[in-house]
């Protein structure tokens, strides 16, 4: 069969024709990765490798550390704050170009897990606490990417909402909460955009690992939803041999294979798994290969990765970042800034003079460029041309760990460029010939995804990193080390830090928690003098475990290497300097928040407060300057004990490489802020629903809030949050009126439901053109059969409204808008004859403007393929 004829087939036709041509060994080969980012090729039948890449905020490519630069996009929570599907379409054009420049077939995103706790280290990747908003935005993202022939991988299925003990914790969730909250964004995306792949979670759900969970993978995903895409494990998250295949996990990632391969073949020989089950998984892999164009290119050679930094991409990212910024407070209309002659502006805060583009973990990448708030503010003030002055004071050091070494103080002794040389030996004592060597730009010397096959066979090896350190100042400077296996840091040949054993600690600054807690030492150094800094390490000793074909297996660890930090001594009183500057200034812009160290995959946060003495810094500055504006960079809610002391609060999230430019666009009025919160901000941690049971006990966490997740909890308990879900103000003001529905009764038949259009008039009552996000919440007016949330988001419309203009916002309501899961009947149910209110509102706690509609009442229970309308 020729290549052209195969390309003209459908994915199902190709898989059906190809499967009989494969041997059992080749089928099994398809079901596990070849290396860190690629699947296995089968040249005999024309199948080439597929390449994957993270993911949620850009396309990093095939190297986790120090790879080719990439476009750094706004984080998921920031994208959700735009409430703008059309902006997601524009972002997709960037992601498509980035995938093509790095030969990516499967983009590992979007992330749609519901952020259950404000302490979740990975919250910034996800969209929203609301499953409807998350699912709709994810569906738009998936559709845009896949139309270009690139697969998306929606993740993490399901309930992967805490990093603490994420490889072991068992999420205990009622069936109703599982359906209405935690799987709903996946269901919306599956039904509306059919993602070609899906990634399972690390954790257990109701007793079984997500990667081998019969209820999630077979009962719900495959049989109920009818999904035929590829389910893959999260990296190193395949916890079984036979059960994962039995229940429909198609692909073990990454490679080289750990669970499958020879083990799966042997399990088949022993009668523990049928070839029919293997065929099911192989068939779905063949479909994906065909969909991404890797089914008929036996001689395909992967080109080198490229950095593609285009002006049109910069413009899209800047606009998208600005529309994701949420204005939370603007007392006395201090914003937008009115720059006057001789005005003195103080820019204060640990994030003001540095680029904070993203949280840490899988989202991390090397951006094409970085922008810094202080620089962007200075440029905007200069452009105003009125002779205003800008001064800066950091106020404090905001690091969690000793920072990575600055490129300006280290030199690779081989190349002479900034960075390290990293050498490897195929033994444990750094002896004999070097078998591999590479040059690294940063002092994260992790042995992860660039090693040759000779060093990934499971045999232990040793490595050595070397750089020349030239301090800029004289003083007692800090060094730090975190190491996966045994590691030593040497300065001019003398050991200054020694970590003698293997580690796996949640307190490690290394990715995936593979390393030790950070060890620190302070040493006196002289400015301008050159010091030889060396990291000597040995790969960790594998931990033995009892193998089983059918049971859960210990999670294997393969990452090695270390992280070296360096910080020159700070002798100034930074807080006093900042307060003194604020007292002498007319206006203060404080840029505070967290970063990739505080908010990251693999470790949750310890509190809702900003790092270290940030709250004290804000309070002290506000006491001496009433015109204080706080810009917060986090991906999760924070406590604001200083809220009443400051004039304005801007929630700036993590905005990628254009974050500083987008921020100044909003501060200086070039963009009218229109973002609205996709998550609730509690006043204190104890207000949030996860405080009932987080992080759990004995690796078991009970989702006691049930269906009352997010804003539903605050409504249920009548608690006033700090800022409600959907909240956000602008430089414009709007009035809502005349909410109405196209029909007063929602009709049903065996084929499904009709729909109702709800509309509301929105008037701009200011003299500033602005965008308003109108939210439509549905609320039961008659008593429901089962307890339900007070109101739930079921639609929205983002509208541009000019001064004095009235426009009409609308949304479509159908059975999904009013159905609930009945865990006794095991189905979606609609109460026939029930009366509902639909509320057009500014946010979840807004009284809004209301209309009513009723559900048609059948003479007897009316069943469709997806739900039942109850007569009584």
Q: Are 477 and 522 within 8 A, CB to CB? A: yes
* Pairing mode, strands 444-447 and 560-567: antiparallel
Q: What is the 3-state secondary structure (H, E, C) of 99-123?
A: HHHCCCCEEECCECCCCCCCCCCCH
**Using CB atoms within 10 A of its CB, is residue 421 exposed (0-12), middle (13-18) or buried (19+)?**
middle
* β strands within 441-596, DSSP E: 444-447, 462-469, 475-483, 487-491, 494-499, 519-525, 531-538, 560-567, 587-593
* Pairing mode, strands 587-593 and 628-633: parallel
| Rounded Cα gap, residues 430 and 426, in angstroms | 8
* β strands within 173-278, DSSP E: 197-200, 204-205, 208-209, 230-232
Residue 234 annotated among the catalytic residues of the structure: yes
Place of tokens 């800008």: 390
Place of tokens 């002798």: 571
- What contacts 488, CB < 8 A, 6 or more positions away? 495, 497, 498, 499, 535, 536, 537
Torsion angle of alpha carbons 427, 428, 432, 437, nearest 10°?
Answer: 80
CA pseudo-torsion sign 19, 21, 23, 25: negative
3-class SS of residue 664: helix
| Rounded Cα gap, residues 86 and 141, in angstroms | 10
Tell me how crowded residue 85 is: count the other CB atoms within 10 A of its CB: 16
Q: Residue 538: which of 432, 425, 442 has the closest Cα?
A: 425
Q: Which of these is catalytic: 66, 234, 250, 831?
A: 234
- Helix (H), strand (E) at residue 752: strand 752-753
| Rounded Cα gap, residues 276 and 245, in angstroms | 10
* Pairing mode, strands 792-801 and 756-764: unpaired
Task: List, as one string, the DSSP characters of 800-851.
Answer: EE-TT-EEEEEEEE-GGGT-EEETTTTEEEEETT-EEEEEEESSTT---EEE
Check residue 40 and report its DSSP letter.
P
Task: List, as one string, the DSSP characters of 755-810.
Answer: -EEEEEEEEE-SSS-EEEEEEEEEEE-SPPSS---S-EEEEEEEEEE-TT-EEEEE
| Rounded Cα gap, residues 33 and 24, in angstroms | 16
| Rounded Cα gap, residues 364 and 361, in angstroms | 6
**Using CB atoms within 10 A of its CB, is residue 481 exposed (0-12), middle (13-18) or buried (19+)?**
buried
* Chain mean position to CA 490: 36
* Chain mean position to CA 754: 36
3-class SS of residue 482: strand
| Rounded Cα gap, residues 772 and 100, in angstroms | 35
- Active site residue ranges: 234
């Amino acid at each position: 069969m020729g290549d052209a004829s195969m390309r003209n087939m459908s994915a199902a036709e190709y898989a059906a024709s190809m499967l009989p041509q494969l041997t059992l060994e080749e089928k099994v080969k398809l079901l596990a990765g070849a290396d860190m980012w690629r699947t296995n090729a089968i040249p005999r039948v024309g199948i080439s490798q597929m390449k994957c890449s993270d993911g949620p905020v850009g396309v990093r490519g095939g190297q986790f550390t120090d790879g080719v630069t990439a476009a750094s996009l706004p984080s998921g929570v920031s994208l959700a704050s735009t409430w703008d599907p059309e902006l997601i379409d524009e972002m997709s054009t960037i992601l498509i170009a980035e995938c093509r420049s790095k030969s990516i077939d499967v983009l590992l995103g979007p992330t749609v897990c519901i952020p259950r706790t404000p302490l979740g280290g990975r919250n910034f990747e996800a969209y929203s606490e609301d499953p409807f908003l998350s699912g709709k935005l994810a569906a738009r993202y998936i559709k845009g990417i896949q139309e270009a022939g690139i697969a998306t991988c929606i993740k993490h299925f399901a309930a992967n909402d805490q990093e603490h003990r994420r490889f072991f914790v068992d999420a205990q969730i009622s069936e109703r909460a599982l359906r209405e909250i935690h799987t709903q964004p996946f269901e919306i995306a599956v039904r509306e955009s059919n993602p070609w792949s899906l990634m399972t979670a690390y954790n257990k759900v109701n007793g079984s690992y997500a990667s081998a969970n019969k209820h999630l993978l077979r009962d719900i995903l495959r049989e109920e939803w009818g999904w035929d895409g590829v389910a893959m494990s999260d990296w190193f998250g395949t916890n079984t041999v036979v059960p994962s295949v039995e229940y429909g996990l198609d692909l073990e990632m990454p490679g080289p294979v750990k669970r499958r391969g020879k083990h799966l073949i042997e399990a088949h020989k022993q009668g523990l798994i049928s070839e029919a089950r293997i065929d099911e998984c192989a068939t779905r892999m063949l479909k994906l290969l065909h969909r991404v164009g890797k089914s008929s290119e036996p001689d395909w050679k992967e080109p080198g990765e490229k950095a593609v930094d285009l002006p049109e991409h910069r413009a899209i990212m800047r606009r998208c970042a600005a529309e994701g910024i949420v204005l939370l407070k603007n007392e006395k209309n201090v914003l937008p800034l009115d720059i006057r002659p001789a005005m003195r502006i103080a820019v204060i805060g640990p994030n003001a003079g540095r680029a904070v583009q993203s949280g840490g973990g899988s989202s991390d990448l090397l951006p094409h460029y970085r922008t810094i708030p202080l620089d962007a503010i200075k440029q905007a003030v200069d452009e105003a041309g009125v002779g205003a002055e800008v001064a800066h004071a950091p106020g404090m050091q905001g690091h969690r760990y000793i920072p990575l070494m600055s490129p300006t103080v280290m030199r690779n002794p081989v190349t002479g460029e900034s960075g390290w040389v990293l050498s490897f030996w195929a033994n444990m004592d750094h002896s004999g010939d070097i078998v591999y060597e590479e040059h690294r730009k940063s002092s994260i010397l992790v042995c992860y995804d660039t090693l040759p096959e000779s060093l990934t066979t499971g045999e232990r090896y040793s490595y050595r990193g070397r750089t020349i350190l030239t301090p800029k100042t004289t003083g007692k400077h800090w060094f730090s080390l975190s190491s996966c296996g045994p590691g030593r840091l040497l300065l001019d040949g003398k050991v200054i830090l020694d970590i003698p054993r293997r580690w796996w600690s949640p307190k490690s600054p290394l990715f995936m928690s593979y390393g030790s807690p950070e060890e620190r030492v302070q040493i006196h150094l002289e400015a301008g003098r050159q010091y030889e800094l060396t990291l000597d390490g040995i790969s960790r000793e594998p931990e033995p475990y009892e193998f089983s074909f059918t049971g859960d297996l210990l999670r294997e660890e393969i990452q090695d290497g270390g992280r070296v930090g360096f910080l020159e001594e700070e002798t100034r009183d930074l807080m006093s300097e900042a307060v003194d500057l604020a007292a002498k200034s007319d206006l203060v812009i404080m840029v505070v928040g967290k970063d990739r160290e505080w908010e990251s995959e693999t470790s949750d946060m310890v509190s809702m407060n900003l790092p270290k003495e940030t709250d004290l810094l804000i309070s002290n500055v506000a006491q001496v300057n009433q015109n204080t504006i706080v810009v917060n960079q986090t991906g999760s809610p924070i406590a604001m004990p200083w809220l009443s002391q400051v004039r304005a609060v801007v929630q700036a999230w993590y905005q990628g490489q254009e974050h500083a430019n987008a921020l100044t666009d909003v501060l200086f009025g070039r963009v009218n802020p229109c973002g609205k919160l996709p998550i609730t901000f509690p006043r204190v941690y104890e207000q949030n629903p996860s405080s009932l049971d987080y992080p759990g006990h004995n690796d078991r966490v009970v989702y006691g809030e049930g269906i009352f997740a997010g804003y539903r909890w605050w409504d249920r308990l009548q608690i006033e949050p700090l800022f409600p879900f959907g909240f956000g103000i602008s430089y414009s003001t709007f009035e809502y009126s005349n909410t109405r529905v196209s029909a007063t009764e929602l009709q049903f038949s065996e084929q499904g439901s009709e729909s109702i259009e709800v509309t509301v008039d929105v008037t701009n009552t200011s003299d500033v053109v602005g965008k308003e996000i109108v939210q439509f919440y549905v609320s039961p007016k008659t008593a429901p059969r089962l307890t339900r949330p007070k109101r739930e988001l079921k639609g929205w419309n983002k509208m541009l409204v000019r001064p004095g203009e009235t426009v009409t916002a609308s949304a479509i309501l159908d059975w999904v808008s009013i159905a609930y899961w009945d865990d006794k009947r095991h189905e979606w149910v609609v109460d026939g004859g029930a009366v509902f209110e639909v509320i057009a509102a500014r946010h979840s706690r807004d009284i809004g403007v209301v209309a009513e509609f009723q559900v048609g009442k059948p003479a007897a229970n009316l069943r469709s393929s997806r739900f039942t309308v109850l007569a009584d």
